[in-house]
Each structure stands twice: as structure tokens, then as C-alpha cells.
Structure 1
Amino acid sequence: MIHSLVLSLETAVIATIFVLAAGLPLSYLFARLSFRGKTIFETIFSLPLILPPSVVGYILLLLLGKDGLGRFGIQWVFTWKAAVLAATIVAFPLFFRTAKASFGNLDDNILDAARLDGSSWNIFWNVAIPLARHGVIAAVMLSFLRAIGEFGATLMIAGNIPGITQTAPLAIYDHVLLGDEQTALVLSFFLTLFSFVMLAISSIFAKKSI
């Protein structure tokens, strides 16, 4: 039980770091720039938010399986790396959409004034991020919660291997099937309590970003 909770936290933390690294610049660019094909890319980025997790997992399985990257010796299927990848993919849309909205609400006059004395990178790092920090923090928390609660895509691509890929949601599923409702209840309680606290904090930061 403890191992599945620890694995869930580790997976969610690593996935959130990847989401933050990719999502922060992308959400800023898509909030501040207009270009051909923007809507198509935004739709692609948001697809994991509305697709059934099993579909996301199956797509990843096709990409990483023996007929995909597996033929080149990349063996990620049924490993913890696959669990991290699944969590990253499903958590990214929440970060992207939340952070994009925060960057989109920035005062254009402030950014225009900053452009007179700074490069685009300096504006992004020293002006835009500090101004949008509350929304970005809320986005990080939401994506972390989505990652820690991931089930369907993880089951498809990483499997449900105790001690290796069995995260807390998968452990709950296993314990229910085995009739061990007490352990399932304890795990569910911890995840629910943790999610409630994180979501409440996220809501506070989201309100500050408005």
C-alpha cells in the first residue's frame, strides 16, 4: 500500500516537471501570438482532456509497442517510464489551458513597455511569469492532481505490476477485485484528502490570477 502511494507521488512529480517544462513556454506563446494552424495545435494539445484514458493509453501503446518505437530498441511498455509518460500526456492539457488563460490576461501595455528594454526571453522570464505566477501555480497543482489520479492510460501502457508500475489508483482497483475493501478504503481516503487540499489551494491561486 505504501509503495503504491510513493510510486504515485514520484510519478506525478516527474510528470508535472515535464509538463511544466513543455507547457510553460507553449502556453505563453499560444496566449500571446497568432499564427496559422494555431487552433489545430491547441486542439491536439487539449485532446487528452476529453478522450477516454483507455484511448490515450492505446495510442501510446501503438506508438511505443513492438510495431512502433519498440522496433528501435526503445522498451518503455510495462515500465515506470510508461507510467510517467501516460501521466504527463493526460496532465498536460490542464496545465496548458490554465496557464494559457493566465498569460492571456496579462496587461498588453506592461508587456509592450518591457519590450523596449528587454529581449523576448527576458520578458517571458522576468515579466510575464511573475505577473502570471498565481495562474501558473494553479495550473501546476491541477496537472499534478490529474497525474496522481491517472488510471486508464497507465493501465494500458504500463500495466498493473505490483512494486513496478502499480500506482495508488491501480492498487485500489486491485484490492477491490480481491475483496480487500479496507485497504482500498484507506488508499481512497488518502487520495481524496490529498486531492481536496491541493484543489482548495489551487482554487485560491486561480482566484488571485483573475
Structure 2
Amino acid sequence: MELTNWTEFTAPILLSLKVSVVASVFVLLLGGGAAWVMARRSFPGKTWVETAILLPLVLPPTVVGFLLLMLLGKKSWIGQLSELLFHRPIIFTWSAAVIASIVVAFPLVYQAMKTGFSAVNRDLEDAARSTGASEWQVLRHITLPLAWRSVVSAYILGFARGLGEFGATLMIAGNIPGQTQTLPTAIYIAVEAGSHTLAWYWAACIIAISFVMLLLANRRSTEK
């Protein structure tokens, strides 16, 4: 595997960063919403719901990718709806890589934010409600400011997890250079082609980025 220019080397890096940024924003919103509901509400089947949320943590990424392929493929109703409305498939696009990253990062973000929400004193929230504050006002002015470290850590963890996603991404996004080839898939192809030096360069990039992100997450969690 030989690269002819600098653009070919940087393309997987830039695409991985793009996918991770977009995915971590979505997963922060979705995971944060789920975490708030699970931390503040009781309902029948709550244990079953939480088990389903955490399931991607223990499933092999290829299984997650296969399930997503069946859900989003051209023969599925979602895939057919995408073709009808947008005249393009979902799978084998960079959007599919975003979806894969969202699914695998969701449990981590959910756990981090649920821990933060659970640590907030509910008496403060109740006091705000007693003065006429709406749920949104309580969340915005009480819950989120008190749980901000968990929110920041959750975003960073989601970003780092999305950056390193391989199995599910390969299943539904493929490995199209310049379009869907992320850093992990680029490293895999380089190793398969015997280009170990190139694989080392890409691996060094993802290790450095992930190290910095995790360092930031640890610093946020230990700040007073």
C-alpha cells in the first residue's frame, strides 16, 4: 500500500476527526437525555431498558455492525425511505460511520452522565420547582451546572470511543479511501498490505489524539 501525496495520508485522519466530532455531539444529546430520564424517573421495565442501552458495551463490534446493516441496509424500510427521500443510501457513506460511532459510544456517554445527574442533590431541584421553575429551567440552571464535569467527560469519552471505532464502521461504512476510510480501517488495510511503517504513523496519530482526550477527561473529573 503506497500513498502518492500528503492528502491521501491526512484524509483518514481528517475524516475520523469529522466523524468523531459529529457523533459525539449527537451522542451527548441522546445519551444525556436518556441518562436524565433514567436518573430521575421510575417506570415499568426500567431495568430492561437500561440493559438494552448498555448492551453495545459487551457485544462484539461486528455484531453491532451486522445489526445496523440489517436495520439501515437497502432492503430495510429505513434504507428504502432514505433512497426515496434523499436519493442516496445510508450505508457505505460517512454518515454510516457517524451512526456506528454513536451506537458504540452511547453506553459510555450514558453511564458518565447518569453518574453526574445522580450525584446532583435532588432537594435543590425540588426547591427550584417549588418556586415555579419548569423542568427545562431546572435542568439548565441547576442540574447541568452542577453536573458539568460529567458532561464534559462524557463528551470527551464519546469522542475518543468514536475515534477508535472499527468493527461496526467497517460493516456499514466500508473502507472507501477519501470517503469512508477512517483511521482504524486505514491502519487495518495498511497492515494487510504489509505497509507497517504507514500503519505506525497512523497508529501514532490515533494514540496521540486519544491520549490527549482521555487526559482532558481525567483532569475534568478530578477538578474541585
Structure 1 Cα separation of the partners of residues 101 and 196 of structure 2: 26
Tell me the residue number matched to 2:95: 81
Structure 2 Cα separation of the partners of residues 206 and 25 of structure 1: 21
Tell me the residue number matched to 1:107: 121
Q: 2:181 aligns with which of 150, 157, 166?
A: 166
Tell me the residue number matched to 1:156: 171
Tell me the residue number matched to 1:190: 205
Structure 1 Cα separation of the partners of residues 127 and 142 of structure 2: 10
AA of the residue aligned to 2:23: A
Q: Given the superposition, is the C-alpha separation of residues 73 and 122 from structure 1 closer, same or farther in structure 2, using an over 3 Å criterion?
A: closer
Gaps of at least 5 residues in structure 2 are: 1-8, 84-88
Structure 2 Cα separation of the partners of residues 25 and 72 of structure 1: 26
Q: 2:11 aligns with which of 3, 19, 31?
A: 3
State the identity as a percent.
Answer: 44
Please list, as runs of the form range in 1=range in 2, the aligned pairs for 1:1-210 lying within 5 A after superposition: 1-68=9-76, 69-74=78-83, 75-117=89-131, 118-208=133-223
Instruction: Note the alpha carbon deviations across 1:137-182, whole angstroms, 9 max, x for none.
Output: 1111001100011000000011111111000111011111111111
AA of the residue aligned to 1:176: V
Instruction: Note the alpha carbon deviations across 1:27-78, whole angstroms, 9 max, x for none.
Output: 1121111111111111111111111000000000001113212333531111
Alpha-carbon RMSD across the aligned residues, in angstroms, is: 1.3
* TM-score normalized by the length of structure 2: 0.90
Q: How many residues align?
A: 209
Structure 2 Cα separation of the partners of residues 19 and 134 of structure 1: 17
Structure 1 Cα separation of the partners of residues 223 and 130 of structure 2: 28
Q: Given the superposition, is the C-alpha separation of residues 73 and 27 from structure 1 closer, same or farther in structure 2, using an over 3 Å criterion?
A: closer
Instruction: Note the alpha carbon deviations across 1:89-133, whole angstroms, 9 max, x for none.
Output: 111111001100110011122122111121111001111001000
